[in-house]
């Protein structure tokens, strides 16, 4: 399926180019390119998921990783929030640990917990368990992306992957972690092994993004969710070169780079090679724009808990966020982190309507 044709081009390239052309004039892609837009585009991190009753119904009896490897389910779950909210982009339904599972790492996504790794990463020998990812490892991704771009037409599909630091945290800790203590102990204590680990993870991550791009996604988001645990100097020394290698390898589509609690890292994350820097809710967008500097768009940053507040408060905060976003060369409206499972979908629908109506 992924071999080369006689003229040396990948057989997926015609469909990929058609999808890219269909979405080029969308508000989302234009905002990523810092071009004028008819309205501020909006989508939500974790827009597919437990907040939607139709998602809960579809997922019933199917485990998370099973769902992620079943193209029909991936396609339907990805489309659900686009239908319901009329958002300006879809995000491919998967998880940051899917590529690790695909190359053979023994892990599971435990309901109510998150990714759990059977044998955490400890020594140099563990590097052997992290081979490069090829398209043959994830045929269900190629299949689902192709089906989705056909269904979505002019609505862009965002591909994504976990950045090397955040993936390393799950591998080293063995599961979700608050302080990332074992991860940091490895990073500061065995810098050569750390660098080798992040190099392997960068190769896996860019392989996973490349599969999605070659199948037709219009943009990618690199999630470094937990890198806000580091001071800027250590981010630059231990993490940024690896994230930069990933981002440089996918420069043929707009690249969004996001993490939580990254107020001190925004400039350096932009310099890692992002076109769009994702901002969490702790930093006002107008300040974020100053920190990031010129030549970048921004994405964010309504507090995901804010949609539990009264309607008029939500409306005011949406307007504030839009206003602050005007300081940026391009603004993609989003939450400051993922949709919480308890969120009322109607509250998100109202946010989309407010963003599209503008000030
Ligand atoms: O059974 C379930 O429904 C499990 C819940 C769930 C879902 C719906 C998990 C487990 N992952 C997902 C899907 C998912 N994961 C998406 C869906 C696409 C969309 O946005 O609509 C995305 C983008 C992710 C990416 C992801 N997974 C990140 C980065 C984004 C972020 O939230 O910062 C991270 C850190 C993960 C790990 C993960 N997977 C699942 C959970 C509960 C977690 C977090 C665990 C932790 O706190 O460390």
Whether 93 lines ligand 1, by a CB cut-off of 6 Å, is yes
Mean pLDDT of 5-12: 49
> Which residue, judged by its Cα, is nearest atom 38 of ligand 1?
114
Mean pLDDT of 319-326: 97
- Closest to 77 (Cα-Cα) out of 99, 46, 100, 33: 46
Q: Can you give the length of the chain in residues?
A: 359
- Residue 8's pLDDT is 43
Query: Taking 90 as the threshold, does the pLDDT of residue 1 lie above it?
Result: no
Instruction: Determine the atom of ligand 1 nearest the C-alpha atom of 45.
Output: 20
Query: What is the pLDDT confidence band of residue 7, given thresholds at 50, 70 and 90?
Result: very low
Query: Taking 50 as the threshold, does the pLDDT of residue 233 lie above it?
Result: yes
- Residue 10's pLDDT is 55
High-pLDDT (> 70) share of the chain, %: 96
- Closest to 267 (Cα-Cα) out of 234, 241, 294, 239: 294
Whether 86 lines ligand 1, by a CB cut-off of 6 Å, is no
Q: For a pocket test of ligand 1, which of 49, 117, 159, 177 has the largest count of ligand atoms closer than 8 A to its C-beta? A: 49
Query: Taking 50 as the threshold, does the pLDDT of residue 130 lie above it?
Result: yes
Query: What is the pLDDT confidence band of residue 339, given thresholds at 50, 70 and 90?
Result: very high
Q: What is the CATH architecture of 13-357?
A: Alpha-Beta Barrel (3.20)
pLDDT tens column, 200-227 = 999 999 999 999 999 999 999 999 999 9
> Which residue, judged by its Cα, is nearest atom 24 of ligand 1?
95
> Which residue, judged by its Cα, is nearest atom 40 of ligand 1?
114
Query: What is the pLDDT confidence band of residue 11, given thresholds at 50, 70 and 90?
Result: low
> Which residue, judged by its Cα, is nearest atom 19 of ligand 1?
46
The DSSP call for residue 3 is S
Whether 341 lines ligand 1, by a CB cut-off of 6 Å, is no
CB 74 within 8 A of CB 67: yes
- Burial class (CB within 10 angstroms; exposed 0-12, middle 13-18, buried 19+) of 48: buried
- Residue 171's pLDDT is 98
> Which residue, judged by its Cα, is nearest atom 7 of ligand 1?
49
Query: What is the pLDDT confidence band of residue 15, given thresholds at 50, 70 and 90?
Result: confident
Mean pLDDT of 288-305: 98
> Which residue, judged by its Cα, is nearest atom 33 of ligand 1?
225
Whether 108 lines ligand 1, by a CB cut-off of 6 Å, is no
Whether 261 lines ligand 1, by a CB cut-off of 6 Å, is no
CB 189 within 8 A of CB 116: no
Query: What is the pLDDT confidence band of residue 20, given thresholds at 50, 70 and 90?
Result: confident
Dist. CA 130 → ligand 1 center (Å): 21
What is the end-to-end Cα distance of the chain in Å, rounded? 48
Mean pLDDT of 296-310: 97
The residue among 10 and 358 whose pLDDT is bigger is: 358
Instruction: Determine the atom of ligand 1 nearest the C-alpha atom of 223.
Output: 29
Query: Taking 90 as the threshold, does the pLDDT of residue 14 lie above it?
Result: no
Query: What is the pLDDT confidence band of residue 3, given thresholds at 50, 70 and 90?
Result: very low
Whether 164 lines ligand 1, by a CB cut-off of 6 Å, is no
CB 299 within 8 A of CB 277: yes
Catalytic residues: 46, 50, 59, 95, 170
Q: Which two tokens stand for residue 83?
A: 């239908």
pLDDT tens column, 30-80 = 999 999 999 999 999 999 999 999 999 999 999 999 999 999 999 999 999
Average pLDDT over the chain, rounded to an integer: 95
Domain extents in the chain: 13-357
CB 28 within 8 A of CB 219: yes
Residues with Cβ within 8 Å of residue 302, at least 6 apart in sequence: 281, 317, 318, 321, 333, 334, 335, 336, 351
- Residue 4's pLDDT is 44
Q: For a pocket test of ligand 1, which of 43, 44, 46 has the largest count of ligand atoms closer than 8 A to its C-beta? A: 46
- Residue 12's pLDDT is 65
- Residue 317's pLDDT is 97
| Model confidence, pTM | 0.95
Query: What is the pLDDT confidence band of residue 2, given thresholds at 50, 70 and 90?
Result: very low
- The CA distance from 120 to 106, in Å, is 10
pLDDT tens column, 252-273 = 999 999 999 999 999 999 999 9
Whether 46 lines ligand 1, by a CB cut-off of 6 Å, is yes
pLDDT tens column, 159-171 = 999 999 999 999 9
């Amino acid at each position: 399926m992924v071999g080369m044709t006689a003229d040396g081009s990948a057989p997926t390239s015609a469909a990929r180019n058609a999808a890219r052309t269909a979405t080029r004039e969308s508000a989302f892609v234009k905002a990523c390119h810092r071009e004028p837009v008819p309205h501020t585009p909006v989508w939500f991190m974790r827009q597919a998921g437990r907040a939607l009753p139709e998602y809960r119904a579809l997922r019933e009896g199917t485990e998370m990783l099973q769902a992620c490897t079943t193209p029909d389910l991936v396609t339907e779950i990805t489309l659900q929030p686009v239908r319901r909210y009329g958002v300006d982009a879809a995000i491919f339904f998967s998880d940051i640990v899917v590529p690790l599972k695909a190359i053979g790492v023994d892990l599971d996504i435990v309901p109510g917990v998150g990714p759990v790794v059977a044998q955490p990463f400890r020594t140099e020998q563990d590097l052997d368990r992290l081979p490069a990812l090829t398209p043959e490892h994830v045929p269900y991704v190629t299949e689902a992306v192709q089906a989705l771009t056909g269904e979505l037409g002019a609505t862009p599909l965002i591909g994504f992957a976990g950045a090397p630091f955040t993936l390393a945290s799950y591998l080293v800790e063995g599961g979700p972690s608050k302080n990332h203590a074992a991860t940091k102990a490895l990073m500061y204590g065995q810098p050569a092994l750390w660098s080798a680990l992040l190099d392997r993870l960068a190769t896996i991550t860019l392989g996973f993004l490349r599969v999605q791009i070659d199948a037709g996604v219009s943009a990618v988001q690199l999630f470094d969710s937990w890198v806000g645990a580091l001071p800027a100097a250590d981010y630059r020394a231990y993490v940024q070169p690896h994230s930069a290698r990933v981002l440089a390898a996918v420069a043929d589509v707009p690249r969004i780079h996001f993490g939580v609690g990254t107020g001190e890292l925004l400039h350096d994350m932009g310099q890692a090679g992002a076109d769009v820097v994702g901002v969490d809710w702790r930093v006002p967008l107008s300040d974020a724009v100053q920190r990031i500097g010129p030549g970048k768009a921004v994405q964010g940053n309504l507090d995901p808990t804010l949609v539990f507040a009264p309607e008029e408060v939500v409306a005011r905060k949406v307007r504030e966020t839009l206003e602050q976003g005007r300081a940026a060369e391009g603004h993609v409206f989003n939450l400051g982190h993922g949709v919480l499972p308890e969120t009322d979908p109607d509250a998100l629908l109202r946010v989309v309507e407010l963003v599209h109506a503008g000030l």
